[in-house]
Amino acid sequence: YGVQKIEGGWGWRISLSMAAVPAAFLTIGAIFLPETPSFLIQRDGNVDEAKMMLQRRNILKKKYRPQLVIALLIPFFNQVTGINVINFYAPVMFRTIGLGESAALMSAVVTRLCATVANIVAMIVVDKFGRRKLLLVGGIQMILSQFTVGAILAVKFKDHGVMDKEYGYLVLVIMCVFVAGFAWSWGPLTYLVPTEICPLEIRSAGQSVVIAVIFLMTFVIGQTFLNMLCHLKFGTFFLFGGWVCVMTLFVFFFLPETKQLPMEQMEQVWRKHWFWKRIVGEGEEEVDQAHTGAGAIAMSTAPHSS
């Protein structure tokens, strides 16, 4: 917004190059980043054995099927909310619906400020209300926002035309509500929940899956949104709203609460869950049977003392 009036083609160059500032903070901050307690414990023990354990892709084992499914679906759902539509194309979208150039750019600033405030709210309340409640409330908030924007565009926006400026600002307000709903729920919890449900031996693999899916879906959304908007028009927002319905139902039925839950108890959570116990329980029974069989063989082959 600040460099839009710079002439000679330098405005967008300055805008893009400013991304180096947070990158520099991340790089310098990494120098002072302390090691994790888990790593310190491993370092004092058998480092080679711990390294080999962490390098195995145990996440593909049947007993870790809940973690793998959630590590795949949570970041996928994160992206099909349509949040990157706002991140990437907010100025284009708001200019299309009737706001001026400066107002369209300022709208992107406003939505990001809403996201920042909502992120801070999430940090404050996540351990009080729990992960599931934030995901469910944020999901409902995004559903209502997407469907409302779709309905406004369907009624007020005409092909090859513009909306009244008042409705353009109404869409901006609703998009701020949408961004806030994402930023205090699916935004930060996409990274937190997979970490909490994955035990140490699969945590690195689980987080790698999360990041890989996010980057893949970011690419897909970034490449396809403008075409979707041209062909589906207001239906694009109903499409995203439909996906938010699906992911909210997924959380309600399949994601257990992890608030203040020690990592050691997560295995019991899966065994007691109405759906995951059918998968994890079967795997545990197979392990128990294998151990029982091995024990029986050992007893039968052991020498008997008189």
Banded model confidence at residue 55, pLDDT cuts 50, 70, 90: low
Give the least confident one: 29-43, 143-157, 204-218.
29-43
The answer to whether residue 299 scores a pLDDT higher than 50 is no
The answer to whether residue 162 scores a pLDDT higher than 80 is no
The mean pLDDT of 284-290, rounded to a whole number, is: 46
Question: So what's the pLDDT on residue 125?
Answer: 94
Give the least confident one: 63-67, 95-99, 245-249.
95-99
Banded model confidence at residue 226, pLDDT cuts 50, 70, 90: confident
The Cα angle at residue 274 between residues 268 and 278, in degrees rounded to 5: 80
The answer to whether residue 190 scores a pLDDT higher than 70 is yes
pLDDT 10s digits, 26-45? 999 999 988 766 666 666 66
- Average pLDDT over all residues of the chain: 84
Give the least confident one: 7-11, 53-57, 119-123, 194-198.
53-57
Q: What is the pTM of this model?
A: 0.79
Rounded distance between C-alpha atoms, residue 279 and residue 62, angstroms: 7
Question: So what's the pLDDT on residue 300?
Answer: 45
In a 10 Å sphere around its CB, with 0-12 CB exposed, 13-18 middle and 19+ buried, how is residue 21 labelled? exposed
Query: 182 and 115 in contact (C-beta within 8 Å)?
Result: yes
The answer to whether residue 294 scores a pLDDT higher than 70 is no
The C-alpha torsion from 191 through 196 and 198 to 202, rounded to 10°, is 60
Banded model confidence at residue 69, pLDDT cuts 50, 70, 90: very high
Percent with pLDDT over 90 in the chain: 47
The mean pLDDT of 131-142, rounded to a whole number, is: 96
Give the least confident one: 53-67, 98-112, 118-132, 280-294.
280-294
User: Phi first, then psi: what are they for 234, rounded to 5°?
Assistant: -65, -20
Query: 212 and 194 in contact (C-beta within 8 Å)?
Result: no
The mean pLDDT of 127-155, rounded to a whole number, is: 94
Q: Which residues lie below 8 Å from residue 185, measured CB to CB, with a gap of 6+?
A: 122, 134, 135, 137, 138, 139, 141
Write down all domains in the chain, each with its CATH number in brackets. 66-254 (1.20.1250.20)
Helix (H) or strand (E) holding 57: none
The mean pLDDT of 127-156, rounded to a whole number, is: 93
Q: Which residues lie below 8 Å from residue 62, measured CB to CB, with a gap of 6+?
A: 279, 280, 282, 283, 286
Query: 171 and 149 in contact (C-beta within 8 Å)?
Result: yes
